[in-house]
Amino acid sequence: MRLALFDLDNTLLAGDSDYEWGQFLVDRGILEREAYEAQNRTYYEQYVAGTLDIHEYLGFALRPLAEHTPQDLARWHAEFMRTRIVPMIAAGARALVGAHLAAGDLCAIVTSTNSFVTAPIAREFSVPHLIATEPETQLGRFTGRVAGVPCFRGGKVRRVDEWLAGLGRSLRDFPESACYSDSHNDLPLLERVSRPVAVDPDQQLATIARQRGWELISLRG
């Protein structure tokens, strides 16, 4: 059995689910457009540049979850999946994940985006394991705070190690461990696996991948 780890945003998706969730709420009139949209764009630009303060960002991104009922959030998310996410899934992404699943590989989506947003997306791909940033809940409601270690940069490595340990495994147990990502923010995890794959990579990751002889692929088009 091999291990296959998939980044989600701009890797399996031709877009960023966290950013799009915020924009969806703005477009539905749930969030105030001018203030939220500008801040959402700023944080996304910081992520791309590699300067994002993840705790500051999560305080911003998780706040809307705390301000609404689980019933409303679930209803909005179903519409979000249908109108925003499914159109961002290219045939190549489905084929890649499907090939790993058909081969019997242990598959997980590993994403910094919170699990409320991403769990339905993992189900859409039929990926059985999701390692994501976890929003805190109390008495069935989101608090707006993060629970545990954010699944971001080095936190992805820690969370993957903890997940594997919970299965009684480690990376070295697999004859091949693949990680697919578009972002230089995922270098800590890409450097840990035996088969790092740059998928439609940003400029920084593309440069590093070429220098190190890593695979470069595209799932779009």
Judge whether 53 counts as a catalytic residue: no
Q: Which of 9, 16, 182, 186 is flagged as catalytic?
A: 9
Model pLDDT for residues 185-199, shown as the tens digit of each residue: 999 999 999 999 999
> pLDDT tens digits, residue range 24-56?
999 999 999 988 988 988 998 998 888 999 999
Which residues have CB under 8 Å from 178's CB, separation 6+?
2, 3, 4, 5, 100, 193, 194, 195, 196, 197
Distance CA 40, CA 31 (A): 11
pLDDT at 219 over 80: yes
Handedness of CA 84, 88, 93, 94 (dihedral sign): positive
What pLDDT was estimated at residue 1?
Answer: 94
Task: Name the residue range of residue 10's domain.
Answer: 3-217
Q: Which residue has the tokens 């707006």?
A: 144
Q: Which residues contact 44 (CB under 8 A, 6 or more apart)?
A: 16, 19
Report the alpha-carbon distance of residue 158 to residue 39 in Å, rounded.
29
Sign of CA dihedral 184, 17, 38, 58: negative
Q: What residues pair up with 156 in beta bridges, in sequence order?
A: none
CATH code for the domain in which residue 27 is found: 3.40.50.1000
Q: From the candidates 7, 16, 18, 200, which is the catalytic residue?
A: 7
Tens of pLDDT, residues 140-181: 999 999 999 999 999 999 999 999 999 999 999 999 999 999
Q: pLDDT tens digit string along 49-102?
A: 889 999 999 999 999 999 999 999 999 999 999 999 999 999 999 999 999 999
Query: To the nearest 5 percent, what fractions of the chain are helix, strand and coil?
Result: 55, 20, 25
Could you give the number of structural domains in the chain?
1
Is 173 among the residues known to form the active site?
no
CA gap 86, 213 in Å, rounded: 33
d(CA 49, CA 63): 24
This prediction has a pTM of 0.96
